[in-house]
Amino acid sequence: MHFHKFEKIWLIFGTLSLAAFLTIVGVTAFAHGHTPAGGMDTIDPEKVAETPPFDKPGVRQLDDDTYEAVIISQAFGYLPGKIKVPAGKEIIFTLTSTDVVHSFTIDNTKVNMMAVPGRITHKSYTFEKPGTYLVLCNEYCGAGHHMMSTEIEVYE
């Protein structure tokens, strides 16, 4: 008798868990389709230079612990070139491309952003150690692809 009761409880519990799980999966999939993860936004690739924040590419401080690095990718380089950011602070990279797909890949970190024309990509990263970090383009973008790189100077 007791077992029967427990089985029933578990059956209900199991069903509810499954329903909850499917709801979460469904909602997540839906959310991904409609507001892409990573905070992607759209932009007219022809008007990047006039569209904030890309009208002023570079690093700016948002608050005591947060900086934003606005970067334009184009064949075959990044605008601005070398940037300087502080260690131990959150850096929000905001990226787009004016022409083809590039990447903004910071060597020895987990930052590997896609720069897609028509889209704005964001990625937050905190450099723990000061130093010079190499940035490379990992997406084949044309004849100058292998030369497409820059540096980030992370200061104390």
Asked if 109 and 134 count as a contact pair (C-beta separation under 8 A), the reply is: no
DSSP assignment of 127-138, as one string? --S-EEEEEE--
Cα(89)–Cα(64) distance, rounded to whole angstroms? 8
Structure tokens at 38: 């990573």
Q: With respect to ligand CUA, which residue has the nearer C-beta, 69 or 141? A: 141
Q: How many residues bind ligand CUA (CB under 6 A)?
A: 8
Report the residue number, 69 or 72, with the smaller CB distance to ligand CUA: 72
Binding of ligand CUA by 137 (CB under 6 A) = yes
Selected from 41, 90, 139, 151, the binder of ligand CUA by CB under 6 A is: 139
Among 69, 83, 91, 148, binds ligand CUA (CB under 6 A): 148
- Residue 155 pairs with which residues in a beta bridge? 86
Q: x/- site string to ligand CUA, residues 23 to 62, per CB under 6 A?
A: ----------------------------------------
> For residues 67-126, which are near ligand CUA according to CB under 6 A?
76, 102
CA 65, 109, 53: angle at the middle one, nearest 5?
Answer: 50
Residue 76: CB partners within 8 Å, gap ≥ 6?
Answer: 137, 141, 142, 143, 144, 145, 147, 148
Give the nearer residue to ligand CUA in terms of CB position, either 87 or 100.
Answer: 100
Footprint of ligand CUA on this chain (CB under 6 A)? Answer: 76, 102, 137, 139-141, 145, 148
